[in-house]
Amino acid sequence: MNAEKTKPRPVRGKGIYYGYIVAAASLLIMACCFGVTGSFGVFLKPVAAEFGWPRALASGAYSVFVIMFGSAFIFTGRLNDRLGPRKMAAICGVIFGVGHILLYFLGAVWQLYALYAIVIAAGMSTSYIPLTSTTSRWFIKKRGLMVGIVSSGVGGGPLIFGPVIGWLITLVGWRLTYV
């Protein structure tokens, strides 16, 4: 990506530095992505109960997800350099969304592992790097602060989404909540 394309510029006529809008949007996306996946434990009991799976078996899917998610950073960082953060964010949204929609049709434990460890991990791995790299391009003096604020969505997302997801599960069930 060209440096000219990412030069900081204000929003026209408003005097608001556009980098703050980028950081706010990145924080929101980060909180949503990590809020949904970080709330796996909220889904664990109703999913395991419906299928009669031991919780240890079902929770293993999240363990494999974390390994795959972290390992995929090596490849998504390179992809981000090649494709740019806009395309990566679009890829993230599509893969992440499709993975969670497919959980509606869950019927076997291997499907849970495949969806979490492959599809959702792939979608999640394409979120963190583009969001933090884009935010860092918009700031010079406050770069560390703004990347830190954006990264706070990793912990803040599950804090907010956990109770909301729990409430939705009691209201509409775990399948519709995943959708």
In order, the DSSP letters of 78-101 are: HHHHHH-HHHHHHHHHHHHHHHHH
Q: Regarding the domain delimited by 16-45+54-178, which CATH topology (the fold level of the hierarchy) does it fall under?
A: Growth Hormone; Chain: A; (1.20.1250)
Closest CA to 41 of 127, 163, 154, 128: 163
pLDDT over 60 at 138, yes or no: yes
Q: How many angstroms separate the CA atoms of 52 and 43, rounded?
A: 14
Q: What is the mean pLDDT of residues 115-136?
A: 90
Where do the structural domains in the chain lie, given as residue ranges? 16-45+54-178
Interval 62-107: pLDDT, tens: 999 999 988 988 888 889 889 988 888 888 889 999 999 999 999 9
Mean pLDDT, the chain, whole residue set? 89
The amino acid that residue 136 corresponds to is S
Contact 89, 127 (CB under 8 A): yes
Which band of pLDDT confidence, cut at 50, 70 and 90, is reported for residue 6? low
Contact 11, 137 (CB under 8 A): no
For residue 150, pLDDT over 90 is answered with: yes
pLDDT at 86: 85
Q: Distance between CA 101 and CA 79 in Å, rounded?
A: 25
